[in-house]
Amino acid sequence: MTPEGLLALVLLGIAAPAVPGIAVKTKSLLTGRRGPPALQLYADLAKLVRKGRVYSRTTTLIFRAGPIVALVSLIVAALFLPLDGREAPARFAGDMVAFAGLLALGRFALVLAAMDTGSSFEGLGASREVTIATFAEPTMFLCFIALVLAAGDLTLSGILGTPLAAAWPHAGASLSLVGVSLFVLLLAENSRVPVDDPATHLELTMIHEVIVLDHSGPDLALILYGSALKLTLFGVLVVSVLVPRAGFSGPAAVALLFAGLGIVAVAVGVVESVMARVRLVRVPQLLVGAAALALVATILQLR
Amino acid sequence: MRNAAQIVLLLVVLSDLAILGTSRLSSCIRGLAAQGFLLGLLPVLIAPHVSVHAASLAVGTVIVKAVALPWFLTWAIREAAVRREIEPIVGFIASQLLGALAVALAFAIASRLPLPGMQQPLLVPVSLATLIIGFVVLTTRRKALVQVVGYLILENGIYLFGLTQTESVPFLIELGVLLDIFVGVFIMGIVVFHINREFDSLDSTRLTELSD
């Protein structure tokens, strides 16, 4: 592992809260409002950490463990991503399954915590969150299959690193399809428009926001930071597929990654300002569309 | 040029899938227009050198497939006042999955088709995929206008297959085919208009009630 990679990991952890901030700022500017500052989430986190926790008497240990498990699983997942475009801190054959599993574990912890509150609203949100995940996960694996076939490597370091860069000249069309599919996945997994609207505060229309309603203080801070980190991780996936950085020197590759993350955040903001949230029954169709794209990409590789 | 043609062919597949997944008739027609435009680009991109033949075929295709037919279909939905395909026989998710399956099938078949002197490896699979998806749209939708769209997608598939032979097919025959389609769709449009006036609906399943 290169020192740039380690530095990039630390920087990623620090910069994560800015990514949703940039998306919100873009949306505000495009819709003619001023919006909160791009770094608002840092202030929110600082405020929440200093507050006290409130626990309902209905909740048990599961509720308290939820935010911690969710955040830790995301941090471990981040270790598998080659941030400098070459090599990840941790790698083994088939680690993309571990990556997907860790993301699923984080979601599972939050969903269990939501069910633990005994609130009917949170149960509703938990069921929706899991439904969307059911459709999102096959798409993610199809994307990984296409990438594995293109790069001929079984590690995330390989399919997002040097072998992928070598595959771009002859598999560009297929890889761009994977990139688009991953972007739709990013919107779905992180509860952004058109799948969920993070700006609403009406329990019946929101998905991710509703399952964290009962968390308070430092717990909520962990969850908010976790959501930002998850968005950033998916951003890293999209950027790594669309802009292979193995040809650049370490610092340049890291700089390119963060520039790419900024562009992804702006793209999320643009999507949010030009689209409305789709009806819940139409969400699976959106994700099946993304899966179809990934399937076509896979077929192109198999040819 | 070769890469550009590949990307255009992929976009054709994507427009197929987009048409399969949408319920709004106007987006269906918009998808069809986009596909027609992409098909118009192909003769120029595929031809080894830019010829009058390829260029005029491109212009003819764009005029008929991307401008005239979509304009006519838009007129038809405005006259018939239909907006959406409400309940297709096969749902939108299932038909999109069918579309992805069709693409897989097309690639499997195309890899077994021995075609001599192929410049474009993607051309045959994409044409087969478009053919099958046209069939799917034609058979699984109830609204007569969407069935016309399905017919046109089917025809686009045949056109793509014909592109493998552009060099040897005379220009007049190709123009003739384009004209035939135009007239065919025109007649379909008039039929659709009459179905609508007779039954107050474009649901083609109700044609079974016809009697004298």
List of chain B residues whose C-beta atoms are within 8 Å of the C-beta of residue A173: 3, 6-7, 10
Is residue B107 less than 8 Å (CB to CB) from chain A? Answer: yes
Q: Do B96 and A289 touch (CB under 8 A)?
A: yes
ipTM more than 0.85?
no
**Is the CB of A295 inside 8 Å of chain B's CB atoms?**
yes
pLDDT at residue A41, rounded to an integer = 95
The per-residue pLDDT for B37 is 94
What does R_g of chain A's alpha carbons equal in angstroms? 19
Residue B193 lies in a domain: yes
Identify the pLDDT of residue B158: 87
- In total, how many domains does chain B have? 1
Contacts of A149 in chain B (CB under 8 A): none
At B81 the pLDDT is 75
Nearest-CA distance A224 → chain B (Å): 33
Question: Residues A64-109: pLDDT tens digits?
Answer: 999 999 999 999 999 999 988 888 888 899 999 999 999 999 999 9
Whole-number pLDDT of residue A85: 80
Range of the domain at B142: 2-112+122-209
Task: Give the per-residue pLDDT at A186.
Answer: 95
Whole-number percent of chain A with pLDDT over 70: 98
Residue B118 has a pLDDT of: 64
Residues from chain B that touch A295, judged by Cβ atoms under 8 A, are 100, 103-104
The stretch A104-116 carries a mean pLDDT of 95
CA distance B106 to B121: 12
Nearest chain B alpha carbon to A169: B3
Say what the pLDDT of residue B172 is: 67
pLDDT band for A18, please (50, 70, 90 cuts).
Answer: very high
Q: pLDDT at position A61, please?
A: 94
> Residue ranges of chain B with pLDDT lower than 50?
none
Q: Are A35 and A29 in contact (CB under 8 A)?
A: yes
What pLDDT score does B2 carry?
A: 65
Q: How many CA within 13 A on the CB side of residue A126?
A: 21
Question: Is residue B117 a part of any domain in this protein?
Answer: no
Instruction: Tell me how many residue pairs between chain A and chain B have CB atoms under 8 A apart.
Output: 45
**Is the CB of A303 less than 8 angstroms away from the CB of B125?**
yes
Inspect the interface and report whether the beta carbons of B10 and A291 lie closer than 8 Å.
Answer: no
pLDDT at B209: 64
Q: What is the pLDDT of residues A221-254, one digit of tens each?
A: 999 999 999 999 999 999 999 988 877 887 888 9
Overall average pLDDT of the A201-205 stretch: 68
DSSP class of residue B91 equals -
B103:A293 CB<8 A: no
- pLDDT tens digits, one per residue of A146-176: 999 999 889 998 899 888 888 888 888 889 8
Task: Name the residue type at position A203.
Answer: E
Find, in chain B, the residue whose alpha carbon is nearest to that of A303: B107
Say if the Cβ atoms of B14 and A284 lie within 8 Å: no
Those of residues 123-142 in B touching chain A at CB distance below 8 A are: 125
B92 touches chain A (CB under 8 A): yes
Is B175 part of a structural domain of the chain? Answer: yes
Q: Which of A175, A288, A302 to mutate to test the interface with B (most CBs of B within 10 A)?
A: A288
DSSP for chain A reads --HHHHHHHHHHHHHTTHHHHHHHHHHHHHTT---S-TTHHHHHHHHHHTSPP---TT--HHHHHHHHHHHHHHHHHHTTS-TTSS--SS--TTHHHHHHHHHHHHHHHHHHHHHHT--HHHHHHHHHHHHHHHHHHHHHHHHHHHHHHHHT-SSHHHHTSHHHHHHHHHHHHHHHHHHHHHHHHHHHHTT-TTT--TT---TTT-STGGGGTT--HHHHHHHHHHHHHHHHHHHHHHHHHHS--TTS-HHHHHHHHHHHHHHHHHHHHHHHHH-PPPPGGGHHHHHHHHHHHHHHHHHHHH-
Q: Does A142 touch chain B (CB under 8 A)?
A: no
Sequence spans of domains, chain A: 3-302
More confident residue, A119 or A2: A119
Mutate which of A278, A296, A300 to disrupt the B interface (most B C-beta within 10 Å)? A296
Q: Which of B207, B158, B204 is nearest to B181 (CA)?
A: B158
Q: Do B3 and A293 touch (CB under 8 A)?
A: no
Closest-CA distance of chain B to residue A87, Å? 30
